[in-house]
Structure 1
Amino acid sequence: MRRRAVVLLSWILVPLAVLTIVAMALMWPSASTAPAQSGNPYAAAPGASIDSGKVLRTATEDCSLNTGGSPGTSCFVAFIEGEGQTEIPVLISPDIVQTRGVHTGDTIRYLNLSGLSAVTGVEANGPQYVFMDFVRTFPMGLLAVLYAVVVVAVARWRGFRAIVGLAGAFGVLGWFILPALAQGQPPMLVALVGSSAIMFGVLYFAHGFSARTSTALLGTLFGLGVTAGLAWWAVDAAALAGHSGEYGYQLLNMTQGMSLSGMILCGLVISGLGVLNDVTITQSSAVWELYELAPNTSTRELFTSAMRIGRDHIASTVYTIAFAYAGSAIPVLLMVSLFDQQLLLALTGSELAEEIVRILVGSIGLVLAIPVTTAVAVAVVKATGRPQARSVQDSPDAVHGEAAGHKVLDGV
């Protein structure tokens, strides 16, 4: 029975893994068919450059003094240390001043137009130095290091493997999924193949090769299939064209044959990967732990107990998905709330429809994956586990460990 369960898992997962590898090889982006690069959006024209520096001080001054602006108007200026102890006056745009502002000690990136007149031969009469963006390398790098340290400190070796697996997942995203979409490959196939490759690599690398991991992977692939099917239907039924975002038309101009609705479809599938992986591996582990505590529990009782945990997980994870997307869409939600229109029209408008469909599709796939994962885990653990020879009630020495014997699980 034990061998039969392991063989059955292999019969299902090995062909899926081979199919994923073959599909990736066939759809792997080719350099010859890649869309032409549009250039660096931060590149400067001849005679101009993009420089960075630390803010020494800030001031509100007459625009004609240092920035070449119109006399009589006030401008907010940040002074950057230049060569030879000089100060470079960088004009800060009003929207930055009204939001966060620029403060002493900030490191900023600015457009340097001081050498443009030497190239064009035309005397510049506007600002010579214009603010572009903040330099965020240090705080973001610090957060990344802190994240890695916390994960490794708490989860130890498994946490380290999870971080490496995450890097591999982004490698699949950057080297396969995104280039394949840009070259006009079928979005549904790209999403399924890329997501499956990520899950095969991440789960086995982080959690090891075991019946427990294979069970979670099977549940994850099932949820992935449900999510992909619902996403395929929802994108067409809800007429999600992909034109509402600020980058939609830019992508149409930069690529040939790329479907924006297909991009949304792929995004719907990929966005649910993390939380889907979370619930399936947790549910599979819960079944194994329950079996270890009570190996003589019947199949029905084990499934019922595990589903109690699964229902709690469903209740909490549904909130997680909804609030995660709501948090990322706060600017859109705020804009919609300021318009005088009916709630139903606002929710079904193009600004919010994509996020709502994303929440619903991901949640349905997540919820359905839990009972499937639980059922598979119960079947596998009952087949691969060897119950104790005597129950706890029959052996007073069971509490001391050795007398009652220990169950053995293959691959755990």
Structure 2
Amino acid sequence: MNVLVLLSIILFTLMAIVGGKKGIKSFIALFLNFAIVIATVLVMNDPNANPIWLTLLACAFISAISLFYINEVNSKTMMAFLSTIVTLVILLLFIIIITDQSMIQGFGEEEREEMMAFSLNIGIDFVKVATSVIIMSTIGAIVDTAISITSPMREIHYHNPTISRKELFLAGIRIGRDILNTSTNTLFFAFFGGYMGLLMWFKDLSYSFGEIINSKVFSDEMITIFTAGMGVAIVIPIASGMTAYYLVRDKQKN
């Protein structure tokens, strides 16, 4: 049996046992999101397509599947979805500027030897592609943080319906502060875990610390990590504020 199939079966079994119906939905959502990413990449091959708009549309679908398909449509998922979209819009302008100014688009010197046999004149704007990669890399962390804030805030409001909007907002901020450290650490060590071979290669090439920091491959990944961390930090007050406003207003109406 193929090892990927075996691992998929093991993962499905564990998710079904631990998560029950939601665990099964989460497993299916994983492949649905993967299909969206593949479809986005295929459409990006069209020179007339705009990679940034395609990525934003894909992120919206990924967020909807991750939130609504698994947890259904309710106040916590709606607020998490809206706060995710608002955070992406805020980050978009910054990502475009930093990608253009840092010149991280394209391939680094370490990758050129493998690409020499291919033509890079394919009619695609690599600045937009690099921007799309960063946006796509941030969506998972932002959605995870958003739902991790809106869900406990709804529980707090449910068990304490007389809580004020300000107190509920501050409760969301305190929850976010606990999440912020673990989320940024997850992003940081995911990079070093995935690029351990690259760091060893830098050592074999006798790169100095300055050469490592200034290499395009390393800078690209670090900018992605920092941008994702910024997204996590930004979504905390946005999700807290939107959820507090919605829950208290809804209670007052009822």
TM-score, normalization by structure 2: 0.90
Query: For residue 169 of structure 2, what is the aligned residue in structure 1?
Result: 303
- 20, 23, 46: which one aligns with 1:156: 20
Q: How do 1:29-48 residues align onto structure 2 when only pairs under 5 Å count?
A: none
User: Conserved in 2, the CA contact under 8 Å of 1:303 and 1:375?
Assistant: yes
Q: Flag the structure with more relative contact order, 1 or 2, with Cα contacts below 8 A and sequence separation at least 6.
A: 2
Between the aligned partners of 1:290 and 1:250, the Cα distance in structure 2 is 58
Cα deviation, 1:142-181, whole Å, max 9, x if unaligned, reads 1111111111221211122222222221222222x11121
Cα deviation, 1:290-317, whole Å, max 9, x if unaligned, reads 1122221221111112211110100110
- Residue 375 of structure 1: how far off its partner (Å): 0.6
User: Conserved in 2, the CA contact under 8 Å of 1:268 and 1:358?
Assistant: yes
Query: For residue 135 of structure 2, what is the aligned residue in structure 1?
Result: 269
Gaps of 5+ in 2: none
- Residue 340 of structure 1: how far off its partner (Å): 4.3
Q: Tell me the percent identity.
A: 18
SS at match of 1:297: coil
User: Conserved in 2, the CA contact under 8 Å of 1:182 and 1:255?
Assistant: no
Cα deviation, 1:194-228, whole Å, max 9, x if unaligned, reads 11122123321111011211000011112222333
SS at match of 2:119: helix
The code of the aligned residue for 1:232 comes to I
Query: For residue 210 of structure 2, what is the aligned residue in structure 1?
Result: 344
Cα deviation, 1:32-69, whole Å, max 9, x if unaligned, reads xxxxxxxxxxxxxxxxxxxxxxxxxxxxxxxxxxxxxx
The code of the aligned residue for 2:37 comes to L
Taking a change above 3 Å as real, the CA distance of residues 152 and 347 of structure 1, as seen in their structure-2 partners, is same
| Structure with the higher strand share, 1 or 2 | 1
Between the aligned partners of 1:250 and 1:287, the Cα distance in structure 2 is 53
- 169, 177, 180: which one aligns with 2:33: 169
Q: How do 1:8-407 residues align onto structure 2 when only pairs under 5 Å count?
A: 138-175=2-39, 177-184=40-47, 185-244=49-108, 246=111, 249=115, 253=119, 256-385=122-251
Between the aligned partners of 2:168 and 2:98, the Cα distance in structure 1 is 36
Between the aligned partners of 2:228 and 2:117, the Cα distance in structure 1 is 25
User: Conserved in 2, the CA contact under 8 Å of 1:165 and 1:201?
Assistant: yes
- Residue 338 of structure 1: how far off its partner (Å): 4.2
The code of the aligned residue for 2:202 comes to V
Between the aligned partners of 2:137 and 2:196, the Cα distance in structure 1 is 18
- Residue 342 of structure 1: how far off its partner (Å): 4.1
- Residue 355 of structure 1: how far off its partner (Å): 0.7
The code of the aligned residue for 1:366 comes to V
Between the aligned partners of 1:278 and 1:165, the Cα distance in structure 2 is 14
Between the aligned partners of 2:51 and 2:65, the Cα distance in structure 1 is 21
Query: For residue 16 of structure 1, what is the aligned residue in structure 2?
Result: none
| Structure having the higher Rg | 1
Between the aligned partners of 1:236 and 1:182, the Cα distance in structure 2 is 21
The count of residues paired between Structure 1 and Structure 2 equals 251
The code of the aligned residue for 2:28 comes to V
SS at match of 2:2: helix
The code of the aligned residue for 2:25 comes to R
Between the aligned partners of 2:247 and 2:116, the Cα distance in structure 1 is 51
User: Conserved in 2, the CA contact under 8 Å of 1:192 and 1:228?
Assistant: no
RMSD: 2.4
Between the aligned partners of 1:149 and 1:170, the Cα distance in structure 2 is 19
Gaps of 5+ in 1: 1-136, 388-407
Taking a change above 3 Å as real, the CA distance of residues 254 and 152 of structure 1, as seen in their structure-2 partners, is farther
Between the aligned partners of 1:163 and 1:192, the Cα distance in structure 2 is 23
